[in-house]
Homo-oligomer: A and B are copies of this chain.
């Protein structure tokens, strides 16, 4: 684990977190620091692996995947289940968890009907418990 971030690093990351394509020049203006210094800090954050990657978040509703469901799964066929999830485009997140259930998956479907079809395929791998998301209040939030 790395040293804690100082306030300038935090400011830079706050800007980059929701706009990874912001030019260095603009970051430089916003935090009142010269471009080379900003660039240097960003490179260090990348090298220290604090910045994992620059990603592009897509709008799932526009992609016709607006229905979010969390499913807890209890299976005895772990390998087969993981392969099933990797091959199912509906599954966006897959975690191995502790407790009564083995796995927690996050599933994005167009509709609840499509969710039902997914569950039909899932049922042969073991019992599961679904929780449809009624509202995404916030997501992927990292408070520095």
Q: In the complex, are the beta carbons of A133 and B96 less than 8 A apart?
A: yes
CA distance A20 to B57 in the complex (A): 9
Q: Cβ of A29 < 8 Å from any Cβ of B?
A: no
Which of B2, B95, B129, B142 is close to A92, meaning CB atoms less than 8 Å apart? B142
Contacts of A77 in B (CB 8 A): none
Q: Lowest 6 CB-CB distances: which A-B pairs, in order?
A: A89-B143, A20-B54, A96-B135, A97-B131, A20-B20, A16-B56
Q: What's the minimum C-beta distance from A61 to chain B, rounded to whole angstroms?
A: 7
Q: Mark A68-85, 1 if CB is under 8 A from B, else 0.
A: 101010000000001001
Interface positions, chain A 1-24, Cβ under 8 Å from B, are: 1-2, 5, 13, 16-21
